[in-house]
Amino acid sequence: MSGPEQQVAGRASLGTIALLLIVVLLIAGGFHYMTDMPGGSYSGTLPALTEAEQELKDRLRRHVTVLAGDIGERNVWRHPALEAASRYIKDQLRASGYRVAVQEYVARDQPVRNLEAELYGAQLPGEIIVIGAHYDTVRGSPGANDNASGIAALLEIGRLLSGQALARTVRFLAFTNEEAPFFYSQEMGSRRYARRARQQGDQIVAMLSLETIGYYSDVANSQHYPSRLYQLMYPDTGNFIGFVGNLSSRRLVRRCLASFRRDSAFPAEGVAAPGWMGGIHWSDHWSFWQEGYPALMVTDTALFRYPYYHAATDTPDRLDYQRLARVVAGLARLAADLARSGP
């Protein structure tokens, strides 16, 4: 090869290296933007449960046992069970002092219902914080973790906040028809609700979807992720609660994680990633993104940790109620903080 040809080849090689370096830096920068979160996750021995947390633990276990044990699989194919779950949730919200509104529609020729309870804000009632969870199950599963755990948390957060004077309005939503084949469809309960909220001009400033939050493990390599990139930044032990949002909801994710980490002695991680990525959009918060509302999912990461996901073995005895109580107590503090100080 002649001298000029060698120089051209050398410049081409340097150009290729520079381009690869730019690509690597862009990927690293993007991943840092997605995972850069305020504060640090709690580590070390968990403190003993307080007396209030012990009571909370027992109440959570009771809710899960009724929904996933006494009632069991609940969906339009087992419509009486779905109706029984709806009645139980309504009764529990009423026992906490709430009036319960019902959004009813028809799916697969069966009447189905979203349930709404509201704690009206004292100073800024038009700014609404939604705490939501779905109460239906996938076919063939009693759904203790997915998602009786989320509904139990919803009921107890509502009870803990009941009667408090908060600046912003907090709405507690129990959604129907989150599971397949309704997910992403017009028959999805949260999709119906979010669309109506937008049509009514509701100013929802934050939505938290409680999705599969009751399973924790201290075993190494018990935590998995949808992408190898996450393994570079997050724990391999499934002992934490996750806050997951899309890029548009990054501010909300950071705000919620900062509040939870500040006020709760429990490990917590967060990510704000493109909404199309695996695991990011798999719950009712997706419905609120479709209407332009900031929303996130609170989760134990479901199938990336829980070996009984969507199985007949997703039973009440699989859950860790002590740690679930810690998480729910922390989420109640977080919800009150959002309602007082804003997202």
Q: Kindly report, residue by residue over 134-149, the tens digit of the pLDDT.
A: 999 999 999 999 999 9
Q: What are phi and psi of 231, to 5 degrees?
A: -65, -20
Query: Is residue 19 in some structural domain?
Result: no
Q: Which of 116-120, 151-155, 278-282 has the lowest mean pLDDT?
A: 278-282
Query: Domain limits at 177?
Result: 47-341
**Residue 14 domain-assigned?**
no
Place of tokens 């992408």: 227
Between CA 70 and CA 88 the distance in angstroms is 11
- 8 Å CB contact between 216 and 322: no
Q: Is residue 149, in this structure, part of any structural domain at all?
A: yes
- Rounding to the nearest 10 degrees, give the CA dihedral for residues 73, 76, 81, 86: 110
- CATH number for the domain spanning 154: value is 3.40.630.10
pLDDT at 90 over 70: yes
Three-state SS letters, the chain: CCHHHHHHHHHHHHHHHHHHHHHHHHHHHHHHHHHCCCCCCCCCCCCCCCHHHHHHHHHHHHHHHHHHHHHCCCCHHHHHHHHHHHHHHHHHHHHCCCCEEEEEEEECCEEEEEEEEEECCCCEEEEEEEEEEECCCCCCCCCHHHHHHHHHHHHHHHHHHCCCCCCEEEEEEEECCCCCCCCCCCCCHHHHHHHHHHHHCCEEEEEEEEECCCCCCCCCCCCCCCCHHHHCCCCCCCCCEEEEEEHHHHHHHHHHHHHHHHHCCCCEEEEEECCCCCCCCCCCHHHHHCCCCCEEEEECCHHHCCCCCCCCCCCHHHCCHHHHHHHHHHHHHHHHHHHHHCC
pLDDT value of residue 173: 99
Residue 175 has pLDDT above 50, yes or no: yes
Domain tally, the chain: 1
Residue 277 counted as domain residue: yes
Sequence-distant (6+) residues with CB within 8 A of 58 are 321
Q: Which amino acid is at 71?
A: I
**Residue percentage of the chain with pLDDT more than 90:** 87
Buried b (16+ CB within 10 A) or exposed e, 225-249: beeebbeeebeebbbbbbbbbbeeb
* Over residues 174-196, mean pLDDT: 98
Please give the pLDDT value at position 8.
47
pLDDT tens, position by position, 272-312: 999 998 899 999 999 999 999 999 999 999 999 999 999 99
More confident residue, 177 or 232: 177
Residue whose C-alpha is closest to residue 332's, from 88, 72, 113, 50:
50
| Averaged pLDDT for residues 7-31 | 58
Mean pLDDT over all residues of the chain? 93
Mean pLDDT of all residues in 160-187:
97
Q: Is the pLDDT of residue 161 over 50?
A: yes
Going by C-alpha positions, the residue among 270, 343, 306, 301 that lies closest to residue 34 is: 270
Residue 14 pLDDT exceeds 90: no
Instruction: Please compute the mean of the pLDDT values over residues 161-174 and round it to a whole number.
Output: 97
Whether 278 is in a domain gets the answer yes
Whole-angstrom Cα distance, residue 291 to residue 324?
31
Residue 36 pLDDT greater than 80, yes or no: yes
Q: What is the reported pLDDT for 228?
A: 80
Asked whether the predicted pLDDT for residue 34 surpasses 90, the reply is no
Choose among 322, 307, 260: nearest CA to 57.
322
Which residues make beta-bridge pairs with 102? 115
Q: Give the per-residue pLDDT at 33.
A: 87
In a domain, 314, yes or no: yes
Express each pLDDT in 229-248 by its tens digit.
788 889 999 999 999 999 99
Query: In this structure, is residue 164 part of a structural domain?
Result: yes
Residue 29 lies in a domain: no
Q: Is the pLDDT of residue 341 over 80?
A: yes
